[in-house]
Amino acid sequence: MTRIAIVGNSHVAALKMGWDLIEKDYPHLDIVFFASVGKAAHDRVLKGKVFGFLNPEPSKHEIIFGNHSERSINLAEFNHVLRVAEPKKESLLSVVLENTVVDGWPKDGREHHMSQSTFEALVDFAAKKQLISPDWCNWTSPKVTSCPAPYPDERCVNHERPTRIARWRVLAKRPAEMLWLREMYIDKHRAWAEKHNIGLLIQPEETIAENGLTKKSYSEGSFRMDANKMETSEEHIHMNAEFGIVMLKKYFKQIDCAAAK
């Protein structure tokens, strides 16, 4: 039996729903999900290999999903840990590309120029910033894998809300540039992660729409973890069970835990 802990924020929901649909194909896997949302998610800490709400008295905004409602989880008891979902720092580059043309791209009226090497340095900075806290780095057991947040639903470009994904709308205006940037970003992110013995679970190509964001079919009917309940909400940020299945299958393959049949 291989034991996997999937810990994180509201994006854990898609994976949990996906797991519920494919669990029977993986009798050799024991997965424990442990998620929290909003402010509470930031209150969880890591001490040694114990992760969770480690303060003796629960705070009023503490929310726990999964983990048998336990406030913490001892990760030393697992073979693998998947951290879901680190905010993507790739979108930091939107503020550059909004008014700057990088050498090699068509001059389209944007005000400023930037060399490829300068831009690459900015991408490297963003990728390094994406790296999870040092406390999670260089573990030999369990093996830690980081799963960045999914790209927003491709339809978000037609809406003004939510404003927190405004930067993705900027990038999606020029998909070719975004995909070029993404390739560079992932290479650098992977290099930083490997250096710190962190695995990286990248969103598969099959889920990516033409504008570089997530295909709507992976977002439609998504659920979002919210205070003490699961709520349907098409807010372009969270993904559905189908997405969860794709991600989990890729993850299992990465850690040599593919389906038994």
Size of the site for another protein (CB under 8 A): 13
Binding window for another protein (CB under 8 A); candidates: 112-120, 138-146, 172-180, 225-233: 112-120
Task: Kindly tell me which of 103 and 220 has the beta carbon lying closer to another protein.
Answer: 103
Binding window for another protein (CB under 8 A); candidates: 65-73, 115-123, 142-150, 197-205: 115-123
Task: Kindly tell me which of 148 and 244 has the beta carbon lying closer to another protein.
Answer: 148
Residue 180 makes contact with another protein by CB under 8 A: no
Residue 166 makes contact with another protein by CB under 8 A: no
> Site residues for another protein, window 70-99 (CB under 8 A)?
92, 95-96
Q: Which of 41, 46, 50, 122 binds another protein (CB under 8 A)?
A: 122
Task: Kindly tell me which of 103 and 194 has the beta carbon lying closer to another protein.
Answer: 103
The three-state DSSP-derived secondary structure of the chain is CEEEEEEECCCHHHHHHHHHHHHHHCCCEEEEEEECCHHHHHHCEEECCEEECCCCCCCCCCCCEEHHHCCEEEHHHCCEEEEEEECCHHHHHHHHHCCEEECCCCCCCCCEEECHHHHHHHHHHHHHHHCCCHHHCCCCCCEEEEEECCCCEHHHHHCCCCHHHHHHHHHHCCHHHHHHHHHHHHHHHHHHHHHCCCEECCCCHHHECCCCCECHHHCCCCEEEECCEEEECCCCCCCCHHHHHHHHHHHHHHCCCCCCC
Residue 116 makes contact with another protein by CB under 8 A: yes
To another protein, the closest distance from the beta carbon of 78 in angstroms equals 35
Please give the residue ranges that form the binding site for another protein (CB under 8 A).
Answer: 92, 95-96, 103, 112-113, 115-118, 121-122, 125
